[in-house]
Structure 1
Amino acid sequence: MKKVKLKAPAKVNYRLDVLRRRPDGYHDLRMIMQRIDLCDDIEIALSDTPGVRVTCGRDGVPDGPDNIAWRAADALLTISGRAVGLDIAITKNIPVAAGLGGGSSDGATVLMGVNELLGLGFSDERLMEIGVKLGADVPFFIFKKTALAEGIGDKLTAVETISPVWLVLVNPHLHVSTGWVYQNLRLTAMKDDDIIPRFYGKIEDVCAILANDLESVTIGRFPVIREIKERLLRVGACGSLMSGSGSTVFGLFKDEAAARRAAETLAAESNWFVVAVKTL
């Protein structure tokens, strides 16, 4: 096997609670994370030239060592001791710096792809241990299940009883720095660790838990986020929320037809990135 072609899915957060600031400067979180079928395309090929090379050609995404995919491949090569070359080509379909986890998913997908390509035989658990050093969301994409994520996002528990949902994603072409959002977050009090429901048999059950503590920070700087939420509800969404630190907003719809109609309407009314997607 000389190359592998893989899909790196995006994610949304149905829930994002910031519980407290930690002594190490990070925050303890409680999130429900869901993969969706909007994916980057990644090709990893063996090369006779030693080292790692990453190309993307997308504004806002670095080639080379500053790319998380490069660091993922380099980490596995270092651990494995293999003196081989890897050429990685990424086609970005997920908006950048948009709260959809595209970079983390690329990194996770490269870890899994290099593991397969080189026949290293590392378990998902081992890859998750390597991945968390690259980014807090990386283990979630290796986990490959809807998850309750705790700690900095690396303590994962499968949420098995959640219904498939159609979503409409809307991104107003704004790049939001996750670091900036957390720096400007003002925690008024420590939240308790109450348990949120684990069973979501209907779309209404999912809508009932929608919450994001980062939303008010991002909306404060980019009021268009609130406008998008309101417009999604007007075109029929059962619920709407900003994903991650933004700037993507998603709405939940009862079926594919409703989601596609809403996406067409919003795309016709704006120059935003709009797409209907389903959960994985």
Structure 2
Amino acid sequence: MLYEKAPAKINLTLDVLHKRPDDFHEVEMIMTTVDLADRVWIRQIKGGQIKIKSSVRYVPSDRKNLAYQAAELIRRKYGITQGVEITLEKRIPVAAGLAGGSSDAAATLRGLNKLWKLGLSADKLAELGAEIGSDVAFCVYGGTAFATGRGEIIHDLPAPPNCWVILAKPAISVSTGNIYKDLSLSSIEHPNTERMIQALKYGDYNEMCRSIGNVLEPVTTGIHKEVAVLKEQMKKFGADAVLMSGSGPTVFGLVEHESRVPRIYNGLKGFCPEVYAIRMMGERHSFD
């Protein structure tokens, strides 16, 4: 039995440049991992099946599950015939813009690489991950990165300055495909990605807070007003900077001083079902 941690990610920036010939969007994103993680348990079983078990009943257990796809891919690529059982202990909210499914897939790739002693490098695992989904490559490495292409080309960045992150997910789900479909490329207000990169390089917390931005946020808040309300509440309670992660609906607030955390956390718990007070992780996974 092997165990892998599958941390959530947040987008410090998310920019869309143009629509590509392959129907994906060309993006520039700065992402970092946070200390809210699923736990992925992997064990070899008799027979040739891939079995998915989850602590959340509505998580799919078939090929719709990205961890299933990861196991299927690695078995096909490397001629593995053994069966495997993958148990997902879910802590990351589902369909939340936090890459929970992608992180589970990445953890499965890392775990099966160890279980079957394949000796694959992190770069090779990320290459495999990109075949499954745009966020999987980043989740293979973890840490903090500037992602380009459709999100699968990863450039390592320094970890953000130490701070607290308040995550709040309203009781709705958002379709990433629908949000991208409704995005008007001609009216985007682009975040300053280069300024965020410099803030991270110099460990400048205030500049990091000033540089956050997500071009998908106006689309999601236009459809789901509760996301905009959540943002306003988080600002009112005292977060230093507030942004929606990914295509939403999760909103996060950055908080430098721990003394402010209980007020923001307790204030949001009053009307939002899922609220978490966590820390940045920001460091890459170890591949020793």
TM-score category by the smaller chain? over 0.9
The equivalent position to 2:60 in structure 1, one of 53, 56, 62, is: 62
2:192 maps to 1:212: no
Deviations 1:39-89 (A, max 9, x none): 111100111222211111525420122211001011111122122110011
Question: What residue in structure 2 maps to residue 97 of structure 1?
Answer: 95
Q: 1:270 Cα shift?
A: 1.4
Q: How does 1:1-280 map to 2 (within 5 A)?
A: 3-160=1-158, 162-188=160-186, 196-197=194-195, 198-200=197-199, 201-267=203-269, 269-280=270-281
Q: 1:199 Cα shift?
A: 2.8
Amino acid at match of 1:250: F
CA distance in 2, matches of 1:30, 1:18: 6
Deviations 1:188-239 (A, max 9, x none): 1688998613232232111111111101111111011111111111111011
Uncovered stretches (5+) of structure 1, i.e. residues with no partner = none
Tell me: CA distance 1:222–1:253, structure 2 relative to 1, closer, same or farther (3 Å): same
CA distance in 2, matches of 1:260, 1:214: 29
Uncovered stretches (5+) of structure 2, i.e. residues with no partner = 282-288
CA distance in 2, matches of 1:253, 1:190: 27
Q: Comparing 72-81 with 56-65, which one deviates more in the overlay? A: 56-65
Length, aligned pairs only: 277
Q: Secondary structure in 2 aligned to 1:149? A: strand
Superposed structure 1 runs of 4+ greater than 4 Å apart = 189-195
Does the 8 Å contact 1:19/1:190 carry over to 2? no
Deviations 1:83-135 (A, max 9, x none): 21100111111111110000100000100001011111011111111110100
What TM-score, normalized to structure 2? 0.91
Hey, which of these two has a bigger chunk of helix by percent?
2
Tell me: CA distance 1:116–1:256, structure 2 relative to 1, closer, same or farther (3 Å): farther
Q: Secondary structure in 1 aligned to 2:178? A: helix
CA distance in 1, matches of 2:158, 2:49: 40
Tell me: CA distance 1:213–1:195, structure 2 relative to 1, closer, same or farther (3 Å): closer
**Paired-residue identity, %:** 36
Question: What residue in structure 1 maps to residue 286 of structure 2?
Answer: none
